[in-house]
Amino acid sequence: MPAQERIHIADDFDVVTARSRAKDMAVALGFSRTDQTLIAAAISEIARNIVVYAGEGDVVLRAEHDRGRWALVAVASDDGPGIPDVDRALADGYSTAGSLGVGLPGARRLMDALEVDSEVGRGTTVTMRKWADGRG
């Protein structure tokens, strides 16, 4: 298993690739089938946001080991328009693209931790983490 993998995101095919690679890494790290599915869904949401809002960006997947347990970390970044109100973007049902508004809040529920760093006109970085033992 590579220590880190970068997937360039520019279209729906890349979203599927990122989802698949995240699931493969989760399997290698010993995540349960349920957690593998949750991770894949969260990666799909975040990678899809890159396509819809920024046009292109990257998802970096890596494993972290701390105190005898593994985490899968996903960092999605883009140079898109940025998010003017991160708190509002993390609220259920909020969308500027006319969608259901489940991307960021959905991913936050699926993972153990989610952080958003965004600046209008400079882009967005979303960092997500899921622990293999589910203890966050």
Asked if residue 136 belongs to a domain, the reply is no
The CATH number that applies at residue 88 is 3.30.565.10
DSSP tag of 118:
E
Report the pLDDT value the prediction gives residue 87, as an integer from 0 to 100.
84
Report the pLDDT value the prediction gives residue 112, as an integer from 0 to 100.
96
Asked if residue 26 belongs to a domain, the reply is yes
Note down the domain range covering 58. 4-131
Q: What is the mean pLDDT of residues 105-129?
A: 95
pLDDT tens-digit map of 5-30 = 999 999 999 999 999 999 999 999 99
pLDDT tens-digit map of 70-105 = 999 999 999 999 999 888 888 766 555 444 345 788
Residue type, 132: A
pTM: predicted TM-score of the whole model, two decimal places: 0.89
- The number of distinct structural domains making up the chain is 1
pLDDT tens-digit map of 46-66 = 999 999 999 999 999 999 998
| Cα dihedral 80→128→1→3 (10° resolution) | 70
Write the DSSP assignment of 68-117 as a string of letters.
Answer: TEEEEEEEEEE-SS--S-HHHHTSTT--SSSS-S-HHHHHHHHSSEEEEE
